[in-house]
A = this chain, B = another copy of it.
């Protein structure tokens, strides 16, 4: 993304020696649909030297990405702004932070409730009508009705997604993770994404596709947070004066963290789980204050959800009841463990790890294949989505006819059989008094299916062959649905698969599984598979704790999660890491690799092109040349206090240079300005806004000959490391301090030595990039890599 070359010659030298454009300017521009991918190679090309890729796949499109500025930019203008802030303004800021957190929770809660309401009603009506047709034995009509409605719903979702917001496809969680790690992907958190995500989610989930609304809800929360912090989207932006406090990446990051937690909370009605999910899986930086604010958001969500359920209690919202939310409440079940339960529980854990890792592996391959298809254009995307929809509809409709009907056990009472929308023991094509167990699972929304398979005190409800058919179809659907161009979450497909294999394990080992209900085994299976695939632990544990509302299940859940994660980690990384890697998003891992201890940052700098530097009072033409010929986002600024002596003054951002050029704040002579001169023309708000690119700047030849004083815009306190610093420690510094640029200074300075050795960015510190640019001196490092892989995960 941003990146510099080695020093020596400053760009401030005569403008004729402007640095050669190592990274062509065209690369900086969005490069649509140029799929350089193949099944065997990474989707994005990687160069052999330590240069950075500015491109990543965002919504199946190759796009330009940028880093975020979480660092406090200490330049003169911003410093003046802090100093002049009054107490009232500080209080406004604090109030607004809390108000925003509240609004994020409120809106996420309302939207989640409305989505649930829409899904329950649409798919409920669809199911009822289809079942009626089947009961009239009009099987073909039933099929065409079922498939037709699903087709139409998927069509709406896919068209919206393909035409208006390609980035709204998928769950959005990897991109949020990348954002909070410091990578900005374009068009990810805007109003189109939000709207498409909401409508698309309703369409996709109601159409019976094997995907969840959970991931999209997290993305919806993040979109809301981003829009609120900006006062709206694009042209319709609210220009409220208070909002200027939020015009920085740091506050936006905090709010998006609140949004992500709210989304998880809305999905699982799990306030603590939502916060922990954000803490464990999504966020890279965390503060105690943020803990409290995210919790405030999730509590608001819970209140809103509860309010909706309260209002809709007596069928006032059509088919939306309590059903849309609580998945599995077993607070009234007395759980007692026997030692014999240890065997099936362990098996569930181990299988969860193995299956989760296998799922990650195969999904990776499928996503590569789908990327090839999606790269062929909009029609291909649409066709793929619709093909998956037709296949899903056919499978869901036809399969229940393959299994025999089961007579109702009198113990189940009136509940069996049911002909309504959401009950257990669906009668479907069976005579009265019997039920079709496979229809119970397949002819329901995904949430209802989960509830049915989780149901307790029903050990005889499901036949083994039905469960196997269910597992098989959902494995196929789970693998082939995720990559299509509709908003789709991964949670529910994995929960469905996991619950099926959990219940199968309980049936097969029923002589060992005496103490624990088969429904609980389904829950444990779901937890194990999620842990095996997503490798989350504490947040999953708490989400399941809040779902089951039973503390007694905690130790056994934990045991299963621990086993599944350990087994899964032995095979491959988590599914989110795989997706991040596939998309080429430069995610910084929390721990440096062990071999990084043996590498100095100076060696990294040596492998890079020279850094482009600017003089503290610089010619306009030089600045324009530098900005046009490079796509770096930060430039070291050098000063010459005495002739022959060069000193590092600080670092200036590309955005600030562009702002200066756009305002045409030029000097006729080469001089240092007074503080008030810049403050007269620039406010900190001008600098905080992202005003466009260098291409928008059009200067006359006279202006090109003038000078700019960069003193007021230069961050005079960039983080620096000495060239002998080990890469391991530099990575820790870079990540913990949330940097965008890190300057390398020489160990020994002198009149003839440049005061800067190089500049490091996120890309330069990624293990993969460093290893890709291996030179002879780093050869020994490579032997360390394999060992590093193991320690990294613990």
Residues in chain A within 8 A of chain B (CB atoms): 72, 74, 79, 82-83, 87, 90-91, 94, 97, 271-272, 275-276, 279-280, 286-289, 291-292, 295-296, 299, 302-303, 306, 331, 537-538, 541-542, 545-546, 549, 551-552, 554-555, 558, 562, 590, 594, 597-598, 641, 645, 647-648, 716-717, 719-722, 724-726, 728-729, 732-733, 736-737, 745, 747-751, 755, 787, 790-791, 794
Contacts and interface: CB of A to CB of B under 8 A. Distances in A.
A279 B291 contact: yes
A90 B733 contact: no
Top 8 closest pairs, chain A to chain B, by CB? A749-B749, A736-B736, A292-B537, A299-B558, A303-B555, A295-B538, A717-B725, A717-B726
A295 B537 contact: yes
Contacts of A542: 272
B728 A94 contact: no
29 contacts: A72-B597, A74-B726, A87-B787, A90-B791, A94-B791, A94-B794, A271-B554, A272-B272, A272-B542, A272-B545, A275-B538, A286-B286, A289-B794, A292-B537, A292-B538, A295-B541, A299-B555, A302-B551, A546-B551, A647-B747, A648-B747, A717-B722, A717-B724, A717-B725, A717-B726, A720-B722, A732-B737, A736-B736, A748-B749
Contacts of A648: 722, 747
Nearest to A74: B726
A790 B90 contact: yes
Contact of A733 (B555, B719, B724): B719
A565 to B, nearest CB: 8
Nearest to A545: B272
Given A74-B729, A716-B724, A717-B724, 20 more contacts: A72-B728, A90-B787, A272-B272, A272-B276, A280-B288, A287-B590, A292-B537, A296-B562, A299-B558, A306-B552, A331-B331, A331-B549, A647-B748, A648-B747, A717-B726, A717-B729, A719-B729, A733-B737, A736-B737, A737-B737
Contacts of A794: 94, 97, 289
A206 B674 CA distance: 72
Contacts of A747: 647-648
A265 to B, nearest CB: 11
Nearest to A557: B299
Given A97-B794, A555-B302, A790-B87, A748 B645 contact: yes
B724 A82 contact: no
Contacts of A724: 716-717
A720 B721 contact: yes
Contacts of A546: 551
A295 B558 contact: yes
Contact of A598 (B79, B287, B538, B755): B79
Contacts of A716: 724
B729 A72 contact: yes
B717 A720 contact: no
B302 A554 contact: yes
A291 B538 CA distance: 7
Contacts of A721: 720
Nearest to A300: B555
A557 to B, nearest CB: 9
A280 B275 CA distance: 13
Contact of A720 (B306, B720, B728, B750): B720
Contacts of A537: 291-292, 295
A737 B719 CA distance: 13
A760 to B, nearest CB: 15
A272 to B, nearest CB: 6
A647 B722 CA distance: 12
Nearest to A786: B87
A754 to B, nearest CB: 12
Nearest to A537: B292
A295 B279 CA distance: 14
Contacts of A558: 295-296, 299
A275 B91 CA distance: 32
